[in-house]
Structures are given as C-alpha cells and as structure tokens.
Amino acid sequence: MNEIEKLRNKRMGEKLIKNFSRRMFDAYYCESSTDVQTLIKKIVPEQSTITWGGSSSIFETGVAQILKDGNYQVFDRADAKNADEKMAIYRKAFSCDYYLASANAISEDGQIINIDGNGNRIAAITWGPRHVIFIVGINKVCKDIDSAMKRARNTAAPVNMTRFENLDTPCHKDGLCHDCLSPDSICNYFSVIRRSQPAHRHIVILVGENLGY
C-alpha cells in the first residue's frame, strides 16, 4: 500500500471513529495489523477470559495467536475435541470478559452489519460478554446502511460460503446471492448494531488494511 492510500485510509478512519463515538462505541484506528496487536495488549488485561466468533480478520492480524500465547484464558472452539465441547465453548462466550469478532460490513455513519448461519456470533455480540471487540478491515466500509447490507449479502456471505464444500446453496455455485431458503443457507440471522448498549461495551478497531471477506 502506498503512502497516498495510507493517508486516505487514515482520514476515513478518523471520520468513522467520530461517528462510532457518537453512538457510544469505543473506537480506534490502526494503520497495520502490528498496531492492532499492540492495541489489543493495552485494551485486554492479562488473565481475562476470551473467546471469538468465526472471523478470519482475528487470525489475519495475528491477534488470535498473541492471545493464545499470552497470559489469558482463551476458549477456542477449534480446540474442541467433539461436538459437546464445541457447544460448551459457544455457551461459555456469554460469560467471558471479551468476545472478539469482525463485521461483514460497516456504514460510514457508524453502524455494524453481520449475518450468521447459526446465530451464535450475533447472540454473543448482542448480549452476554462483558466487552465485544470488532476488528474490521478498511475494505468493509460502506457509504450507508443499505450498501452495507448489500455488501454483507452479496460479497461477504457468498465468499464465506466457499469455505464449506459440503453445503449446497445457489451462491456456492455462482458466487451470487439469490435470497435463497436453502436448508444449507448461512444467511439466517441478520444484525444491525446502531448504538452500543451499555455504552462502551462495544469496541471497534478499524484497520487500514484489507481483512476478511
């Protein structure tokens, strides 16, 4: 990324931080994944209980690894040995100190869009964990709530679906959203967070890099 792009992203980030703050989110802009790692260490106290929803951004930034390597109590569903252990970690999310996630899209005025297949991520984002941290790449910024929803449905969801070779949906075949009612659909729950309640429970880290889908 050249310096002009970095400057543009920084200016956009500064605007979004103001808009998120107006909606009672804590918001930060980080130029790089390395900066995100440094910030996470400042925000999250050692010994905190932590888990996360499905998010490639958490792994792309290296955040998942520094938390697993650090002095934290991390509950990672990928470590579950069977379905019962995985379900226990899903339920543990509601009592954790920190829940990490990303967003399928965010609007310039500071609203967060997510789509879920099973609803576990949206449930934890909405209620339960003491704090929720969103790590979001600059590529997910959209002009308004309508374009953010379109991005979530027409870009994020079809790309995400390609990870599941055993599922059968129209978007798996052609990469386009068909507003389907397939039994294998991963677009069953939609979330719009327009304000953090309680205030400051939600923390947004906007990253000046392309992350996730």
Please report whether residue 213 resides in a domain: no
Instruction: State which residues form the domain around 177.
Output: 3-207
Please report whether residue 181 resides in a domain: yes
pLDDT band at 165 (very low <50, low <70, confident <90, very high): confident
* pLDDT for position 88: 94
Please report whether residue 126 resides in a domain: yes
Whether pLDDT at 1 is above 80: no
Whether pLDDT at 210 is above 80: yes
Q: What does the pLDDT average to over 91-120?
A: 97
Q: Are strands 98-101 and 189-193 parallel, antiparallel or unpaired?
A: unpaired
* pLDDT for position 65: 96
**Cβ–Cβ < 8 Å for 202, 193:** yes
Please report whether residue 170 resides in a domain: yes
Q: For the chain, how many structural domains are there in total?
A: 1
Count Cα neighbours of 189 within 13 Å in the Cβ-side half-sphere: 12
Please report whether residue 125 resides in a domain: yes
- What is the reported pTM? 0.95
* pLDDT for position 26: 99
For the chain, percent of residues with pLDDT exceeding 70: 100
Please report whether residue 212 resides in a domain: no
Please report whether residue 91 resides in a domain: yes
Among 213, 56, 121, 157, CA closest to 169: 157
pLDDT band at 164 (very low <50, low <70, confident <90, very high): confident
Please report whether residue 11 resides in a domain: yes
CATH number at residue 182: 3.40.50.10420
**Cβ–Cβ < 8 Å for 132, 124:** yes
pLDDT band at 7 (very low <50, low <70, confident <90, very high): very high
